[in-house]
Amino acid sequence: MKRALFILAVLIFTTSPVYVWAGNQNSAIEDLNAKEFISEHLSDSYEWQIVSDGAKHITVPLSIILYSKTTGWHLFPSSHFQHGTAAYNGFKIASEGKYKGKIVETDARENISRPLDLSLTKNAASLLFASLLIILIIMGVARLLKRDSMKPRKGFAGMIEMLVLSINDEVIKPSIGKDHQRYAPYLLTVFFFIFTNNLLGLIPVFPGGANVTGNIAVTLVLAVATFLIINLTGTKEYYKEILWPDVPTWLKIPIPLMPIVEIVGTLTKPFALMIRLFANMMAGHSIVLGLTMLIFITASMGMAINVSMTFLSVIFTVFIDFVELLIAYIQAYVFTLLSAVFIGLARMESHSEKKKVIETGQVA
């Protein structure tokens, strides 16, 4: 009871300044478009925002790397755009149109085109940061284990070891079977990559907060990598099952109906992986943002509604954040599990061989 009261007090005290702030800026909030705000936060940006109150921005500038067909390579910090309000060297961040929010190039004839944009955006920087973090953590644990492998680990290293073991023993081994050692390092890397990025995405302040795994480009690369692993290491039997499956001949000749279905099947598997991770993480971020937006949307509806909705919003946001923690793990787990299952399917042995094994087993 005492604890519950304490939590309640903390919630009220921490949310009231938000209310005060929102009330003071009433005029600024009225033209706040919730939909725009959310989609802006879900998509990538050229600078890493720390704090913004509408007029003043505190951001970490990121490097802009561009290749224009006419002027060649360009490298400059994103602060030159002055938060999207200024143009620099003929480049600017489009505020509307087809390329909204992206850098466009305006040439001498006022034609707007999109240069090759390799800028280190917020998502890219977050990706690099996360990669560095995972490499440091895993290599640290690996070195610690190598130095004295007989000593049981405690604390953080023990937790990482436990995660590695649980994924390796409960996901990878049973799904792939015989050759699991060959694929375990890749699948573990995928798991930790997705998990770390998911968790970093849940941290709302600076080094986190980027919607990385909720971005289709990121999940696309992950899915393509898994697709390549599945199909480049498939057995002969796997390809036979795709190109000449064990079905009545009229399903294969003259129209190769089943082969087409099978080939589409090989593509839909990683496609489903890509969409699942992307949609789950994006949806999670949208819900958190939407619930937080409740505070600012109701700011103009009077104090009583605003205070109660603020209270509700904080409770719901905390709840959804806990759910998101769960989802961060589940999605990384599911991606790894399904990748392992698909790899296991591609490592199948021929039916005749399997039958032989069963028969000899029965004889024995």
Partner 1 sequence: MSLLTPEPGLLFWMLVSFGITVFVLAKFGFPSILKSVEKRKNYIEESLLAARKAHEELAGIKKTGEAVLAQARKEQADILKDASLKREMMIEKAREEARQESEKLIASARRQISAEKEEALRSIRSEAATLSLTLAERILREKLGTKEEQKKMIDRLFSEMDISRS
Taking Cα atoms as reference points, which of 349, 340, 344, 347 lies closest to residue 184? Answer: 340
3 is a contact residue toward partner 1 (CB under 8 A): no
**Residue 339 identity:** S
Kindly report the three-state secondary structure assignment for every residue of 277-297: HHHHHHHHHHHHHHHHHHHHH
233 is a contact residue toward partner 1 (CB under 8 A): no
CB of 130 to partner 1, least distance (A): 8
Residue 305 bridge partners (DSSP): none
With CB under 8 A as the contact rule, which of the stretches 47-55, 182-190, 239-247, 319-327 interacts with partner 1?
A: 182-190
226 is a contact residue toward partner 1 (CB under 8 A): no
**Residue 24 identity:** N
119 is a contact residue toward partner 1 (CB under 8 A): yes
CB of 69 to partner 1, least distance (A): 15
CB of 256 to partner 1, least distance (A): 31
19 is a contact residue toward partner 1 (CB under 8 A): no
**Residue 259 identity:** P
131 is a contact residue toward partner 1 (CB under 8 A): yes
Q: Show contacts of 31-37: CB within 8 Å, 24+ apart.
A: 32/296, 32/297, 34/290, 34/293, 34/296, 34/297, 37/289, 37/293
With CB under 8 A as the contact rule, which of the stretches 23-31, 68-76, 116-124, 330-338 interacts with partner 1?
A: 116-124
Out of 18, 32, 94, 118, point to the residue binding partner 1 (CB under 8 A). 118
CA distances from 48 to 77, 204, 207, 226 (A): 12, 12, 9, 30
Out of 28, 225, 318, 325, point to the residue binding partner 1 (CB under 8 A). 225
Count CB atoms within 10 A of the CB of residue 25: 16
Out of 8, 20, 112, 139, point to the residue binding partner 1 (CB under 8 A). 139
Out of 11, 18, 28, 43, point to the residue binding partner 1 (CB under 8 A). 43
If residue 360 lies in a helix (H) or strand (E), which one and from where to where? helix 351-363
Query: Which residues, in sequence order, are CB contacts of 43 under 8 Å at separation 6+?
Result: 101, 211
120 is a contact residue toward partner 1 (CB under 8 A): yes
> Cβ(104)–Cβ(46) under 8 Å?
no
18 is a contact residue toward partner 1 (CB under 8 A): no
Out of 93, 104, 141, 337, point to the residue binding partner 1 (CB under 8 A). 141
Which residues are at the interface with partner 1 (CB under 8 A)?
39, 42-44, 65, 100-101, 116-121, 123-124, 127-128, 130-131, 134-135, 138-139, 141-142, 145-146, 149-150, 152, 161, 164-165, 168, 181, 184-186, 188-190, 192-193, 215-218, 220-222, 225, 282
